[in-house]
Amino acid sequence: MKKIAVILIVLMSASASFAQEKSAFHMGLAVGAGTDGIGVDVAFPLGKHFAVRGGYAFTIPYAYYYDHVAMGGSPINDSKAFGGITDWNPKAKASLTLGNGRLLFDFFPGKKGSFHFTAGAHIFTSPGIIHAQTTEPLPIGKENYARTFVEANGKYITTDPDGNLQVDVRLGTLPVKPYVGIGWGRIKEDSRVSVMFDMGAIYCGSIQVVSYDYGVDIKASPTKPVANSFTSADTDGNDAGVLDILGKVPVWPVMKLSIAVRLF
C-alpha cells in the first residue's frame, strides 16, 4: 500500500506540472472489470493529449469445483508412483488468481476525442493466473507427504505438506509485464461520469503450466517448493499437445469495461 501511495503522489505532481491550463487539471476514479481482474484506477490528464492511470486489479472471485478427478492415463497410475496408490480420484478446486498492479499511459490523437492508444506495464502479485489443487489428501499417511513423488523427464511432482497436489497456470517469469492496447473513453472536465473501454495484450513471453516439488522422498523434511514447468513431452503426449500450445502463446489478452467518475 505504501508503494501505491507513493505512485499516486508522483502522478498528482506530474499532472500539475504538465497541465498548461488551470481547467486542464482534473482527476478521476475508475472502477472496472475485465480479463485482467476487477480493478480500481486513479487517472490524471497530462495536457490535452495524454493521461496516466495507476491502480490495482483484484482477482475475480470465481472458483470451479471438481467432484471427481480421474487420474487414468497419467503417471499417477504407475504402481511405483505415490506409494503404489493407483485409484486416487480426489475432489479438486480451480480458482482465478489475477491480482495485479498497473501503470498505464494514454495518448489521445484528438484534443477532445475519446479514442486512445495505451502503453504501460502490469505487475502480478500472485505466482499464477489460475490455481488448481486437490482438496482430498493422498491416502499415503502424513509421514509420506511431500516426500513421495512422480517423475516426468527428470522433473518431480510431489504432494504439498498437507497431502494435496497443486498446479498453477503462470504468465511467464517476467516480473514486470509490458502492456499495449487501444481504447475509448477519457476523464472529461465537463462530464462527471464517463464510460471507458480498453482492449489490448499483456506480453508474458509464454503461458506456463507449473507444478511443484516440495521435497523429494530422500529429503528429511519439506523444503520451499521447486516450481517445474511442463511440456507435452513430460506427459508422454497425454495432454493432447495443450501444454506446447500454451507455451507458444506470448500474450494474455485484455478486454475491460470501466465506469469513471471525475472527482474534481
Q: Could you state, in order of their start, the residue ranges of all structural domains in the chain?
A: 2-262
Using 50, 70 and 90 to split pLDDT, how confident is the model at 216?
low
204-225: average pLDDT: 77
Give me the chain's average pLDDT, please: 81
CATH number for 2-262 (one of 3.30.870, 1.20.58, 2.40.160, 1.10.150): it is 2.40.160
Inter-residue contact 170 to 129 (CB < 8 Å): yes
- 112 CB burial (10 A radius; 0-12, 13-18, 19+): exposed
pLDDT of 79 over the 60 cut: no
At residue 189, the pLDDT reads 74
Instruction: Tell me the per-residue pLDDT of 35-50, one tens digit each, with 9 for 90 and over.
Output: 999 999 999 888 889 9
Grid coordinates in use for 223?
Answer: 523444503
25-30: average pLDDT: 82
How many residues in total does the chain contain?
264
Q: Which residues of 90-109 are buried (b: 16+ CB within 10 A; e: fewer)?
A: bebeeebbbbbbbbbbbebe
pLDDT of 161 over the 70 cut: yes
145-150: average pLDDT: 78
At residue 220, the pLDDT reads 53
The neighbouring-strand residues paired with 34 are: 37, 256
pLDDT of 190 over the 50 cut: yes
